[in-house]
Amino acid sequence: MNVEPLVLDITSDNSIKSAVDIVQAKFGHLDVLINNAAILLGRPEDSIRQRLTTVFDTNVFGTIAVTEAFIPLLRNSTKVKRIVFVSSGLGSLAIRADLSLQAKDYIEK
């Protein structure tokens, strides 16, 4: 298996396009896309709304942008194609649904 990691900023369309261009030029296809980028809650000095916007821009919209950008290269693969999303306990909806933890953080600043 030939694995080659790429560093990119998933919130930057230019960075995503550059990564796609690198893979296209070097390989012409992609067999596996591993989405392994995420942030927790942004900067503590920001409002909860700003922090959640930053989190969604990165964890949701950034991941979607990367996935959409690489789909044409995945389609070019002659092997079984895979998209892998890496998460952690922090990605748990049950844990994150406890807004009291976030509110406590905000109030006790």
Q: Range of 86's domain?
A: 13-107
List the alpha helices (DSSP H) in 1-109: 13-26, 48-56, 63-75, 93-96, 99-107
Q: Is 35 among the domain residues? A: yes
Query: What are the backbone dihedrals phi and psi of residue 85, each rounded to the nearest 5 degrees, phi first?
Result: -110, 115
Residue 87: which CATH number? 3.40.50.720
39 pLDDT higher than 70: yes
Output b/e per residue, 18-57; b: 16+ Cβ within 10 A.
Answer: ebbeebeeeeeebbebebebbeeebeeeeeeeebeebbee
Confidence label for 103 from pLDDT (cuts 50, 70 and 90): low
Q: Is 3 among the domain residues? A: no
SS3 of residue 87 by DSSP = coil
More confident residue, 5 or 73: 73
**pLDDT, average across residues 33-62:** 87
More confident residue, 86 or 70: 70
Q: Is 21 among the domain residues? A: yes
**pLDDT, average across residues 61-80:** 95
What count of other Cβ atoms lies within 10 Å of the Cβ of residue 70?
Answer: 20
More confident residue, 67 or 106: 67
pLDDT at 43: 73
What's the structural domain count of the chain? 1
**pLDDT, average across residues 72-84:** 94
What is the percent of the chain with per-residue pLDDT over 70, rounded to a whole number? 78
Q: Is 5 among the domain residues? A: no
